[in-house]
């Protein structure tokens, strides 16, 4: 469901975010770039445009991958010659020592803690060479209040594509549940409405810190001292303006 609406609602904002926060690190990569959870490829495109090395795009969802493949099919030769798509969860992709930059954005809180600890972070560490950099988006503290935010809104032909997102906090042991409601609005009202709910496991900064240290990473601050302004994502949910990456270095 989400794959169908993802680019219409998020591509511009996410691409801009990637240009702001990932381009410098991508330009510095000398061995390879690993992108964990490429989704529809909004950020893959920036990583491949900016870097000079192979890009490993790992995406297990067929629906998201279909959009990614469509994007790559129309990409420049420069991009097409370097992106390799891995249609598995990272833990099953068998990547070892292939990258000196790993990007894991918009993903970690979507996996249960045990899966992050036992599969995700060890596989990222395996794929990176010692000294390699991991860029991961900074975690939100706790669960948000149960409220609803508007999604971006965009026009396609005479129709407006938009929606809302709502988070229902989980109980102590259970995940939060994020419900995305997509709406297609015509001149005379709603033409279509679809919803999809995803679990997320609140990832406090201290928890991420602990998980990454155990997996063999050390905090690296902001790479090379670059510290751009918070990017403007005017059409994203309020929280997006505080959405920024952390850098970790593999020991």
Ligand X SMILES: C[S@@+](CC[C@H](N)C(=O)[O-])C[C@H]1O[C@@H](n2cnc3c(N)ncnc32)[C@H](O)[C@@H]1O
Nearer to ligand X, 14 or 21 (CB): 14
CB atoms within 10 A of CB 38: 31
Is residue 43 part of the contact set for ligand X (CB under 6 A)? yes
Between helix 42-50 and helix 2-21 the angle, nearest 10°, is: 30
Which phi-psi region, left, alpha or beta, contains residue 117 (left: φ > 0; alpha: ψ -120 to 50)?
A: alpha
CB of 198 to ligand X, least distance (A): 8
Name the token pair of 206. Answer: 């201290």
Is residue 135 part of the contact set for ligand X (CB under 6 A)? no
Is residue 39 part of the contact set for ligand X (CB under 6 A)? yes
Please answer whether residues 44 and 55 qualify as being in contact, where contact means their C-beta atoms are separated by less than 8 angstroms.
yes
Nearer to ligand X, 37 or 132 (CB): 37
Q: How many positions of this chain bind ligand X (CB under 6 A)? A: 18
CB atoms within 10 A of CB 10: 23
Nearer to ligand X, 36 or 53 (CB): 36
Find the binder of ligand X among 29, 36, 109, 128 (CB under 6 A).
Answer: 36
Is residue 139 part of the contact set for ligand X (CB under 6 A)? no
Is residue 42 part of the contact set for ligand X (CB under 6 A)? yes
Name the token pair of 153. Answer: 């809104």
The residue behind tokens 């938009």 is: 162
Is residue 107 part of the contact set for ligand X (CB under 6 A)? yes
Residues 6+ positions from 147 with CB-CB distance below 8 Å: 166, 167
Q: Among the candidate windows 22-30, 103-111, 138-146, 243-251, which touches ligand X by CB under 6 A?
A: 103-111
Q: Among the candidate windows 56-64, 158-166, 204-212, 226-234, which touches ligand X by CB under 6 A?
A: 56-64
**CA gap 250, 145 in Å, rounded:** 35
Q: Among the candidate windows 20-28, 58-66, 94-102, 227-235, which touches ligand X by CB under 6 A?
A: 58-66
Burial (0-12, 13-18, 19+ Cβ within 10 Å), 178: middle
CB of 132 to ligand X, least distance (A): 17
**CA gap 28, 13 in Å, rounded:** 23
Q: Which residues bind ligand X (CB under 6 A)?
A: 14, 36-37, 39, 42-43, 58-61, 64, 89-90, 105-107, 111, 120
């Amino acid at each position: 469901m989400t794959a169908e609406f993802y680019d219409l609602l998020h591509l511009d904002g996410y691409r801009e975010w990637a240009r702001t926060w990932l381009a410098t690190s991508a330009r510095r990569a000398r061995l390879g770039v690993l992108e964990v959870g490429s989704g529809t490829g909004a950020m893959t495109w920036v990583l491949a445009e900016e870097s000079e090395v192979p890009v490993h795009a790992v995406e297990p969802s067929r629906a998201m991958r279909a959009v990614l493949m469509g994007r790559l099919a129309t990409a420049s030769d420069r991009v097409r010659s370097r992106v390799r798509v891995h249609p598995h969860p990272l833990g099953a992709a068998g990547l070892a020592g292939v990258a000196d930059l790993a990007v894991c954005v918009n993903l970690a809180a979507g996996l249960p803690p045990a899966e992050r600890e036992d599969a995700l972070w060890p596989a990222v560490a395996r794929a990176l060479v010692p000294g390699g950099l991991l860029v991961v988006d900074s975690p939100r503290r706790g669960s948000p209040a149960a409220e609803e935010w508007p999604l971006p809104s965009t026009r396609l032909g005479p129709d407006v594509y938009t929606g809302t997102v709502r988070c229902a906090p989980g109980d102590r042991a259970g995940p939060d549940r994020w419900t995305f409601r997509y709406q297609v609005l015509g001149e005379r009202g709603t033409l279509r409405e679809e919803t999809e709910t995803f679990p997320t496991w609140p990832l406090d900064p201290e928890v991420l810190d602990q998980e990454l240290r155990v997996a063999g990473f050390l905090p690296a601050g902001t790479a090379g001292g670059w510290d751009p302004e918070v990017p403007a994502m005017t059409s994203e949910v309020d929280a997006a303006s505080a959405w920024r990456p952390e850098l970790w270095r593999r020991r």
